[in-house]
């Protein structure tokens, strides 16, 4: 390659990379906005409605249950 062709190739490559970077940044912004906004709206609506009533738990029973279930679920069976 001659010097002229090399410099022209470098300029074309640089402009291609800049253009690809702009497209990637634009796509990231659009996708982030389109995923975030609907989720926020749904989260606000879901936070006001619960499918089950609130029940105060007994700390001692809950601790015993958590302790026993830990060994049954994680230690009592083989890892898959």
One pLDDT digit (tens) per residue for the chain, 80 residues = 566 666 666 678 888 888 888 888 888 877 776 666 666 666 665 556 677 888 999 999 999 999 888 877 877 665 54
pLDDT of residue 70: 85
pLDDT of residue 57: 93
Alpha helices in 1-80 (DSSP H): 3-47, 59-70
Tell me the two tokens of residue 39. Answer: 């989720």
Dist CA 75 CA 70 (whole Å)? 7
């Amino acid at each position: 390659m001659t010097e002229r062709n090399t410099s022209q190739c470098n300029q074309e490559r640089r402009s291609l990379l800049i253009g690809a970077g702009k497209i990637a940044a634009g796509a990231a912004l659009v996708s982030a906005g389109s995923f975030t906004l609907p989720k926020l709206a749904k989260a606000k609506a879901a936070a006001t409605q619960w499918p089950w009533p609130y029940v105060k738990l007994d700390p001692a029973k809950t601790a015993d249950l958590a302790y026993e279930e830990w060994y049954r679920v994680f230690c009592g069976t083989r890892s898959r």
